[in-house]
Amino acid sequence: MTTISLRKGNTRLPPEVNRVLYVRNLPFNITSEEMYDIFGKYGAIRQIRIGTNKDTRGTAFVVYEDIYDAKTAVDHLSGFNVANRYLIVLYYQQAKMSKKFDQKKKEDEIAKMQEKYGVSTKDSK
């Protein structure tokens, strides 16, 4: 098995490599069993979370037991075709995800303030 030889070697992984993968562009009707079939080929999976609400449909988090299995999955499944959709498989990065959330939160606060005080950003001519 190549993963065993990879572990024994003194291989340094890039800092973004993580056991948690963020998967985008999934078919909306994919089941967790299908996800386990696709991602389970690359190693033991601890957890899979599939997005179900309007904002998270088509995305999922896959958590592997071993970091090398996660790396192998990213290497092999990025661009993999599932139901005529090409998967985007990324390492989950907490800092980037929280920045997106904070930006959305700030935009919502600004919109509420503008509505409250009757301020419009649109030019009225």
pLDDT tens-place string over residues 18-77: 899 999 999 999 999 999 999 999 999 999 999 999 888 999 999 999 999 999 999 999
Q: Which residue has the higher pLDDT, 110 or 102?
A: 110
Task: Tell me the two tokens of residue 92.
Answer: 């989950």
Measured CA to CA, the distance from residue 96 to residue 65 in angstroms comes to 23
Measured CA to CA, the distance from residue 80 to residue 83 in angstroms comes to 10
Percentages of the chain per state (helix, strand, coil), in multiples of 5:
40, 20, 40
Least confident of 1-5, 24-28, 110-114: 1-5
| 111 confidence band (pLDDT: 50, 70, 90) | confident
| 20-93, CATH topology level | Alpha-Beta Plaits (3.30.70)
pLDDT at position 5, please?
42
Characterise 84 by phi-psi region: left (phi > 0), alpha (psi -120 to 50), beta (else).
left
- The string of DSSP codes covering 35-81 is HHHHHGGGS-EEEEEE--STTTTT-EEEEESSHHHHHHHHHHHTT-E
pLDDT at position 1, please?
41
pLDDT at position 83, please?
92
CB 21 within 8 A of CB 64: yes
Q: Which residue has the higher pLDDT, 107 or 76?
A: 76
Q: Which residue has the higher pLDDT, 32 or 115?
A: 32
| 8 confidence band (pLDDT: 50, 70, 90) | very low
Measured CA to CA, the distance from residue 105 to residue 84 in angstroms comes to 34
